Every structure is written in C-alpha cells, then in structure tokens.
Amino acid sequence: MPNVVIDFLEGRTVEQKREMVKRVTQAISETLNCKPDAVQIIMHEISTEQIAHGGILRCDK
C-alpha cells in the first residue's frame, strides 16, 4: 500500500484538498499499477508560526 505524506501551509479549502487527493491518488495508482483504494494520503497542515526560512518565521514576512 503506497503511503504519501504531504506537508503544506494551512489555508487551503476542503475543495482544494479533495481535488489534490483525487489527482495524487490517480497519479500514484497509474504509476505504481495499484488500485486507488490502496493509496493512503496523510496531510499535515502547517501554520505560518511553525515554519521559518532564513531565520525568519513565515508569519513575520
């Protein structure tokens, strides 16, 4: 069973997440020749207070 973990900044709509998991599942099932129901996707939404780049929190930019 393919397991996919996707990290992204919070703020996406439920509709965007639905479309993303649909497309990612399709790509993986076609590429790895497995059934779509074998693909598991775990999403981690990260707040801008939990990510930094170049020593600056994303929320401070």
Secondary structure element (H or E) that encloses residue 40, with its range:
strand 40-46
Report which secondary-structure segment, H or E, holds 42.
Answer: strand 40-46
Give the integer Cα–Cα distance in Å for 25 and 4: 9
36 given a catalytic annotation: no
Residue of 2, 17, 48, 58 marked catalytic: 2
Active site residues: 2
